[in-house]
Amino acid sequence: MMPGEPRFRRLPKTLAMKPVTTHALAAFFLLIASAPQSVLARQGLRPHVSYLIRVGPADQSGFTVEMRVRGAGDTVRLAMASHPEYDDRYWRYVENLSAEARGVALSVTREEDALWSVRAPGGDLYVKYRIRLLPQTAPTRAAWQPFISPTGGLVGDLHSLMYVVGATRAPARVTLDIPAGWAIASGLDTTNDPKTFSARSVELLLDSPIVVGQFRRWDFAVNGVPHTVVYLPQPNSAPFDADAFIAGVRRLAGEAINIFGKTPYRRYTFIYMDGADGALEHLNSVTIGAQSRNLARGLGDVFQVTSHEYFHTWNLMRVRPVERVGVRYRHAEPTAVLWWSEGVTIYFSDLLLRRAKLPVAEPTRAAHLESKIATYLLTPGYSRISPERVSLASDDPLALGDDFASVYLQGELLGSMLDLLIREATRGRRSLDDAMRTLSERFTPERGINGRDIERAVHDVCGCDAHSFFEAHVRGARPIDFDRYLRAVGLRAQVSWSPALGGDGGPAPDLRIYAINSPGDSAPRLRLTNPDSAWGRAGLHTGDRLISLDGRAVASASDFRPWLGQLRVGQTARLEVMRDGVVSTATVLITGYDRPTVRLREIEDATAEQLRLRARWAEGGP
């Protein structure tokens, strides 16, 4: 959540004021309702929930959900879960929430934005509500958000399903009532009823999007484990090479499973959707926006996204930050290990693509690393702010001040260096693959990791001094000495600085700044990425509220980019900003800037051992 974001208007506390019936066992239920979940589980009394999702044939504005809660206590707390990454707050779209038991309507009280409570007389509790879907205004949808179109849609997971607080480890079922001729796919287990699916826990159900409609479907097995690929097209979908697409997805799955030796799931479903972009990982599935016209042009992009999101099945979903264990209805606490969960996932997704012989941006691992090191050196924030701090600040674009760093690049480079460290210490017998596999064997979704756990796994795999590395480069912000680690494979980084060039071959203007909209704040704010840029030298700071650009008032951050894009070296830009309530004008002389070029060179007198390790490393081998 952004600082200064307004709390959303709360609905009236009581949605329905109807008499609450009492029950002879009320005292007993009162007793067990306050017992910890484990006690209820031992007594076999924890609530079991089954869901029914009804999608009408002609209604694209929403769908209804019915819940049957068996074994409920006398007070049932219902909540909409908050996603730790994309908290879309679908509690805002819950309508017509009602509850009844024994044929009597019950009062539902709103306790918090995403939390309701019902006083129930015991026995089965029936809950019903509608999820309102917003009309699509942008050209594409976000791949993880529910929608319904005339030919299919996406429902289920935490965007649709409420849960009973304290009962998320109990098994659950969901049944779909959908238009005739539509099919269903998800990562959930099938049952005897083709429209009913089961999950070993409510938590897993809340993590399982369900695609419905007229989609294409392919099935294959890897090591005997079933995998399904689904593509939900739009009308007028462009044709693409489905055979090459499925073959590539299958190879990626095979390469990832090779690292771990087994899957953390019983079945897995890749859900691709036309007309959508973005992607979101889950334990048993993934939703990926894949516009057919892009697939028709080439499959490189979709493989890249798939490799990343699919690797998250292990690194982020199975091996997850301790702050992301369990289900919650309030926003998750930030975590210090995103550099590992996201950045090291980038490291592995590049490796999977190379091992699967699928397209990659740079032809060799050396060229890939050269480009990453150059990006690291260009922006001083990467070596000024520790990856743990960058991880903790990832929700707040203003938190790092005038410096910028992303966990993606920091983590990918740290992963690359840790890999070299392990190879050197074990004479090539082990690599970062082994550290990742060790974590996946030690941890489960119920037992999350912290930075010390990652350090321990690296240490146990390499038998080397992982502690100094983590002190210097993970918890601390010491610049990475690339040559120290590249030495393992007989390489060093040669860095040269030269003026950055634009498309016309002349010096590129220093445009290292952007603007962001803060919800609840009418004025967009500036975000510097380098305090030594032309913008920092002119006295501007991250967080400055933008009033006008060259005398023209600014309404939104989207006004900033076209204005920035027309600036040329030698021009003068005038920005009126407000800081601490004081308005001032900054005059910025647009200059060029230098950028580094990195080439990995062979060290003098590289040993046979270093050359042997390099050959293995360069081919992407473990």
Point out which residues bind Zn ion (CB under 5 A).
Answer: 342
Distance CA 588, CA 567 (A): 11
- 255 versus 342: smaller Cβ distance to Zn ion: 342
**Minimum distance from residue 272 beta carbon to Zn ion (Å):** 17
**Minimum distance from residue 201 beta carbon to Zn ion (Å):** 23
- Which are the contacts of 160, defined by CB distance < 8 A and separation ≥ 6? 53, 63, 65, 90, 131, 146
- 342 versus 424: smaller Cβ distance to Zn ion: 342
**Minimum distance from residue 388 beta carbon to Zn ion (Å):** 18
- The DSSP code sequence of 108-151 is EEEEETTEEEEE--SS-EEEEEEEEPPPP-SSSEETTS-EEETT
Distance CA 499, CA 497 (A): 7
- 305 versus 474: smaller Cβ distance to Zn ion: 305
Q: Which of 300, 303, 388, 375 is nearest to 341 (CA)?
A: 388
**Minimum distance from residue 312 beta carbon to Zn ion (Å):** 6
**Minimum distance from residue 338 beta carbon to Zn ion (Å):** 9
- 64 versus 349: smaller Cβ distance to Zn ion: 349
b/e map 425-449, b = 16+ CB within 10 Å: bbebebbbbbbbbbbbeebebeebb
Sort strands 268-273 and 285-289 into parallel, antiparallel or unpaired: parallel
- Answer yes or no: are the C-beta atoms of 302 and 245 closer than 8 Å: yes
Distance CA 201, CA 286 (A): 18
Which residue sits closest to Zn ion, CB atoms considered? 342
DSSP-derived secondary structure letter, 559: G
- 342 versus 544: smaller Cβ distance to Zn ion: 342
- 349 versus 530: smaller Cβ distance to Zn ion: 349
- 209 versus 536: smaller Cβ distance to Zn ion: 209
- Answer yes or no: are the C-beta atoms of 225 and 268 closer than 8 Å: yes
- 210 versus 280: smaller Cβ distance to Zn ion: 280
**Minimum distance from residue 342 beta carbon to Zn ion (Å):** 5
**Minimum distance from residue 344 beta carbon to Zn ion (Å):** 10
**Minimum distance from residue 346 beta carbon to Zn ion (Å):** 8
Q: Which residue has tokens 């410096």? A: 403
Sort strands 276-277 and 216-222 into parallel, antiparallel or unpaired: unpaired
Q: How far is CA 294 from CA 151, 223, 238, 244, 299, in A?
A: 20, 31, 9, 14, 8
